[in-house]
Amino acid sequence: MKVAVAGASGYVGGEVLRLALAHPEVEIGAVTAGESAGSALGAHQPHLPTLADRTIAETTPEQLAGHDVVFLALPHGRSAELAAQLPADTLVVDCGADHRLTDPKAWARWYGGEHAGSWPYGLPELPGAREQLRNSTRIAVPGCYPTASTLASFPAVAAGLVQPEVSIVAFSGTSGAGKAAKPHLLGSEVMGSATAYGVGGGHRHTPEIVQNLATVSPEPVRVSFTPVLAPMPRGILAVASAPLADDGVTEDQAREVYAKAFAAEPFVHLLPAGVQPATKSVVGSNTAQIQVAIDPDAGRLVVTAVIDNLTKGTAGGAFQSVNLALGLDETLGLPTTGVSP
Amino acid sequence: MKVAVAGASGYVGGEVLRLALAHPEVEIGAVTAGESAGSALGAHQPHLPTLADRTIAETTPEQLAGHDVVFLALPHGRSAELAAQLPADTLVVDCGADHRLTDPKAWARWYGGEHAGSWPYGLPELPGAREQLRNSTRIAVPGCYPTASTLASFPAVAAGLVQPEVSIVAFSGTSGAGKAAKPHLLGSEVMGSATAYGVGGGHRHTPEIVQNLATVSPEPVRVSFTPVLAPMPRGILAVASAPLADDGVTEDQAREVYAKAFAAEPFVHLLPAGVQPATKSVVGSNTAQIQVAIDPDAGRLVVTAVIDNLTKGTAGGAFQSVNLALGLDETLGLPTTGVSP
Amino acid sequence: MKVAVAGASGYVGGEVLRLALAHPEVEIGAVTAGESAGSALGAHQPHLPTLADRTIAETTPEQLAGHDVVFLALPHGRSAELAAQLPADTLVVDCGADHRLTDPKAWARWYGGEHAGSWPYGLPELPGAREQLRNSTRIAVPGCYPTASTLASFPAVAAGLVQPEVSIVAFSGTSGAGKAAKPHLLGSEVMGSATAYGVGGGHRHTPEIVQNLATVSPEPVRVSFTPVLAPMPRGILAVASAPLADDGVTEDQAREVYAKAFAAEPFVHLLPAGVQPATKSVVGSNTAQIQVAIDPDAGRLVVTAVIDNLTKGTAGGAFQSVNLALGLDETLGLPTTGVSP
Amino acid sequence: MKVAVAGASGYVGGEVLRLALAHPEVEIGAVTAGESAGSALGAHQPHLPTLADRTIAETTPEQLAGHDVVFLALPHGRSAELAAQLPADTLVVDCGADHRLTDPKAWARWYGGEHAGSWPYGLPELPGAREQLRNSTRIAVPGCYPTASTLASFPAVAAGLVQPEVSIVAFSGTSGAGKAAKPHLLGSEVMGSATAYGVGGGHRHTPEIVQNLATVSPEPVRVSFTPVLAPMPRGILAVASAPLADDGVTEDQAREVYAKAFAAEPFVHLLPAGVQPATKSVVGSNTAQIQVAIDPDAGRLVVTAVIDNLTKGTAGGAFQSVNLALGLDETLGLPTTGVSP
């Protein structure tokens, strides 16, 4: 399959290209961007030496034409506009937010402007998602926080293990904020420091998490989501907790629910009892690592999940969905091994 | 006042000495340790060049005799044993856990062994604590997590703003784990990585947080506490949330509760609305910075608090209590300014 | 003394203010900036809570008038222009480059434009500098790299211990690059990474190092200087080496030269033999830590020196010179203790 | 080929396994260790989830028998002893130091004890090395510093571009120091700090660099080598400089020498003029990135080279040599792409 990448100079675009290079069925076609058009890819993605001499083209429908798969790694708003100009039989993969939310009112509240409609949601592990992704020609790649948060909490919600009042605090590497130079993202600011943001339900990934959990919950779901900017370039650790539906639930029972939910999942690794996941273990990998605990005094389930925000959280999850959409082996070309230490 | 420091080769001991050097009323007397006895202090605390040539003595009651104040920066169990051998009129400051918990059953459950009894608790901001600290000759320094967690949540609990079911996820720098060389604390392991531990209520600081909140709560308190090891040397960010007692509470009302609780506090800085605290802003400082938010969709109060785990979280909080105990100005010699970036 | 700070929203300005708060003779007057004028200081320097409510004024001669000391923490070019408008009897301290180089040709080559002339050079440890600083009303604060590099190499050059062909590789924290948001300074880029820059003698601090060493060298000096951007917010480690003038020189003899050069220096700490300095040991401190070694196989002297680029390397060195200029104790208000770990 | 890994619980062993998983011709056989024998591999290498349930066997000749290739990732001294007990037709790859030095006197001086003899040296880029590696059944994997340092300097020395007096300062991630828990390697110590060590020619990699350069130099070589422990888990940046043989050499001429030396090399990427390599660009990759500069004022060539100390610097270089030894494509299964940011 011939693949084009729009937004090739950013972090998501770079990760799509890194995975594309390792995918046996991919030929890399156009690499495009906005302001960076005309420069060499090597100036933006120095970790991809075999593509260093490629010239970045401008992001236009013409440049993206003639490919089997087009990845859009663009700011929200831009991808919907562009996707509308691409052929219906091209597989278009939106790594941005434009096609994630199904509810136009939620879109209007959180993003504003016109709702572009929703596409099949690229989190194959979520019940029902895999079926929609097969043979689809449009894929909405989930947000990185929703990927970690949903994997951490949907099995418990689906099984009725907890009351659907989920509190999530998630610690993210800075690459999730992108490559645009902003003072609060400077190395001098972030190294050695942790800061929450979007506190009080202000982060746009909140409605996406609610939407995901609602697909498996018989009752209305409430989610408190607090993201934290962490002094590391990659990785998300989500700590999700919720009141137990029944105080008598044991850790073994809770683990069993998760073990069952992920038994057939190639990219979810439930850790042995007592072992906590570290974000470093999944750097560069499409694997999520998960642990389940019960706090009997507080009467809560506490689940921890780690992913690489750029791999399983974006570009890797995207390729996983692409494999499904094209009828390939879902795991084709995707790393399960992290680069550690 | 002549001050002795037992455990002078560790991180807490080093911080006590750093603050002692800046305190106008302190003369540094004996510096003692266990295995490091006999070596020069400079080999262990290279950031204190003016003390580099001091020889570390062995930690014995004899070495600690003849001082006005003795800081014990020792593993739990050791300080109770040693304190029992020090004169009643010496001000003994236990930076460890031995004298924090008031309930012998809680001690037995979380630490095991015989309960040494409890001492006045060195968190002056907690209602009632200041009175007990004045003229005391014994001080139990709070744990670093309980300091951040209690400051973040007691005003809301005391005011009945929330139901007393508090969920806390706290990110801590690695110095909180001490200087003992363990593989999971190696730089290669922690840099670029975040990992939760003691998940499911397993951390020994949990009962201390419960005990603190219970002093201000008319109803029984439940606390879910999840600590996360963060890739930074110093600092704690606590994210504390709880269900609102009444869904109609506004952010202004919540802020007002915190503003009132801390109005006269020299070391607590409630940030302007919308500004989130960063751990880096309090590195080396005895200040806590705090922000309050309401999540109306989730119906929760979310409070964020940052401290330096070694300063306000341990040695600085200890000196604050010492100042109180000796009738000095509570702020004497204590930095309110962080070293940033 | 009443002190004004121009450039108060940047890293150097923040460090000047941090030290000013701890200086017993300083009253902080105007805090000014360019784009940030009109905003609260707390929005830019959240680690200085006691100054949080100060409003930043615009940087103009009028705002800076009426102070005993004016610190200019401005981009090069701007300070010379502004200084020319300040009264001759005000002590003006240029933290930028405008008045460091004595040779107009060197200025023209490295910075371009008109040479503003040179001021007494604020590195008291350099032979002859202290005399010029006393009673001066103008101070040129050295660059951070030149401070570390000069301290590491001038004693050997002055004593004829080495041939005056000095190779310096210096690792610097990112705060040395300032707070302007540039993509290569993003946390995502710098964390976990090291990169040299200005390689091949391209860095503007090179002529300043040459100028300093030339003041103590009977022969012409050649300097190879390579700066490296290191994944840390503060600190410089300079590794300076040069061919021994005589292969028979022993490490003891070399140490003796440095011990003598710094015997009376309050802010230079020559470490015990065999102990290497760590940048962390001087974070927030005005101390330089230094070690001397001989490599007999290579026939070279290798000296390592660490400073905090913002403290001893800029704002702390500036206050040291201010103390001298005003006839105060040179060490007044300056920390010798680092914040570590 | 069936591969055994001795020392599978350490960082080098983990990296060998990571690369082995991606190598199309490799079947992973025995994984062995010393103290960790009997535990699950997942407890030591959590980034390799597909191998998590493997049990670590004890490192004995019996466990390592029956494999085509045996990697020894052991402390020096141990591998020579073990290798002597393995069949002559097994390909034995020593990732340690035992078989690197050809001169018994150098061995005696730097390591002490009996010299085990030298094996073909696994740096294929070094002139003459590739020929010795082909069909060899023994491979001495170079040290990580010598790999970076030699690549940075041998072309200039071989071409007579410089006088053979090379000064190298190399900045290394902490994983180079291994997984043994030592206080100075704690995260609290290394984060935010840089420290040189082995200063004055004391590092054991010095004679290895000298030996490498001597193979291409008509004249005796002197090397001054200073390693620096950097606050990052992976990566080496070597800054190598030497006096130009002729002051008139231009940067273009120098670049040409390096371009020629590496023209056919699949794993060495000479960067476009003016672009400096970042260690992050090669994390997880077998690529070295190199830049060449001339400092006309100092009369020196300055070359910068980055590698991943665990990949190209150890396990990746080892697989490259194994491919050669077995007559496979030298690049088989080896990543050229880094994981960045």
pLDDT in tens, A82-128: 999 999 999 999 999 999 999 999 999 999 988 999 999 999 999 99
**What is d(CA B71, CA B317) in angstroms, rounded to the nearest whole number?**
12
Distance from CA of D23 to the nearest CA of C (A): 26
What is the ipTM for the molecules in this complex?
A: 0.97
* pLDDT value at residue C203: 92
C-alpha C151 chain-centroid distance: 11
**What is d(CA B36, CA B58) in angstroms, rounded to the nearest whole number?**
8
Q: Are D114 and D77 in contact (CB under 8 A)?
A: no
Q: Are D289 and D186 in contact (CB under 8 A)?
A: no
**Which of B186, B234, B309 to mutate: most D Cβ within 10 Å?**
B186
In order along its 341 residues, chain C shows pLDDT tens digits of 999 999 999 999 999 999 999 999 999 999 999 999 999 999 999 999 999 999 999 999 999 999 999 999 998 889 999 999 999 999 999 999 999 999 999 999 999 988 999 999 999 999 999 999 999 999 999 999 999 999 999 999 999 999 999 999 999 999 999 999 999 999 999 999 999 999 998 899 999 999 999 999 999 999 999 999 999 999 999 999 999 999 899 999 999 999 999 999 999 999 999 999 999 999 999 999 999 999 999 999 999 999 999 999 999 999 999 999 999 999 999 999 999 99
* Residue-wise DSSP of A101-155: ---HHHHHHHT-S-------BS-TTSTTHHHHHTT-SEEEPPPHHHHHHHHHHHH
Cβ–Cβ contact C284 with B under 8 A: yes
Name the B residues in 92-111 with CB < 8 Å from any A CB: none
**Which of D45, D191, D236, D308 to mutate: most B Cβ within 10 Å?**
D191
Distance from CA of D276 to the nearest CA of C (A): 6
Show the CA angle centred on residue D30, arms to residues D29 and D34, nearest 5°: 160
Cβ–Cβ contact B309 with C under 8 A: no
Domain ranges of chain D: 2-142+314-326, 145-307
Tokens 């003029």 belong to which residue? D273
Distance from CA of C214 to the nearest CA of D (A): 14
**DSSP letter assigned to residue C286:** S
Q: Which CATH superfamily is domain A145-307 in?
A: Dihydrodipicolinate Reductase; domain 2 (3.30.360.10)
* Residue-wise DSSP of C93-119: EE-SSTTT---HHHHHHHT-S------
**What is d(CA D341, CA A187) in angstroms, rounded to the nearest whole number?**
13
Residue A75 in this model has a pLDDT that exceeds 90: no
Q: Are B265 and B125 in contact (CB under 8 A)?
A: yes
**What is d(CA A83, CA A117) in angstroms, rounded to the nearest whole number?**
12
| Over residues D107-136, mean pLDDT | 96
Chain C partners within 8 Å of D241 (Cβ) = 167, 224, 226
B95 is catalytic: no
Cβ–Cβ contact C285 with B under 8 A: yes
Token pair recorded at residue B173? 């720098």
Give strand pairing partners of B42. none
Question: Phi then psi for B2, rounded to 5 degrees?
Answer: -95, 125
Q: Are D337 and A48 in contact (CB under 8 A)?
A: yes
Question: Phi then psi for A123, rounded to 5 degrees?
Answer: -120, 85
**DSSP letter assigned to residue B102:** -
Cβ–Cβ contact C274 with B under 8 A: no
**What is d(CA B142, CA B209) in angstroms, rounded to the nearest whole number?**
10
Q: Which CATH superfamily is domain C2-142+314-326 in?
A: NAD(P)-binding Rossmann-like Domain (3.40.50.720)
Non-local CB neighbours of B101 within 8 Å, separated by 6+ positions:
B107, B110, B111, B115, B118, B207, B208, B211
- Is the Cα torsion angle D316, D320, D326, D332 positive or negative in sign? positive
Chain C residue with Cα closest to D203: C295
Cβ–Cβ contact B276 with C under 8 A: no
Task: Give pairs for D38-44: CB < 8 Å, separation 24+.
Answer: D39/D9, D40/A272, D41/D8, D41/D9, D41/D17, D42/A272, D42/A275, D43/A275, D44/D8, D44/D9, D44/D14
Token pair recorded at residue D253? 């001429």
**What is d(CA B77, CA A8) in angstroms, rounded to the nearest whole number?**
58
Tokens 């202290």 belong to which residue? C130
* pLDDT value at residue B34: 95
Show the CA angle centred on residue D153, arms to residues D147 and D169, nearest 5°: 75
* pLDDT value at residue C146: 98
The reply to whether A2-142+314-326 and A145-307 are identical in fold is no
Name the C residues in 30-59 with CB < 8 Å from any D CB: none
Cβ–Cβ contact A233 with C under 8 A: yes
pLDDT digits (tens, 9 = 90+) for B46-93: 999 999 999 999 999 999 999 999 999 998 889 999 999 999 999 999
Tokens 């001054």 belong to which residue? D224
Which positions of C are catalytic? Answer: 144
Q: Are C172 and C229 in contact (CB under 8 A)?
A: yes
In order along its 341 residues, chain B shows pLDDT tens digits of 999 999 999 999 999 999 999 999 999 999 999 999 999 999 999 999 999 999 999 999 999 999 999 999 998 889 999 999 999 999 999 999 999 999 999 999 999 988 999 999 999 999 999 999 999 999 999 999 999 999 999 999 999 999 999 999 999 999 999 999 999 999 999 999 999 999 998 899 999 999 999 999 999 999 999 999 999 999 999 999 999 999 899 999 999 999 999 999 999 999 999 999 999 999 999 999 999 999 999 999 999 999 999 999 999 999 999 999 999 999 999 999 999 99
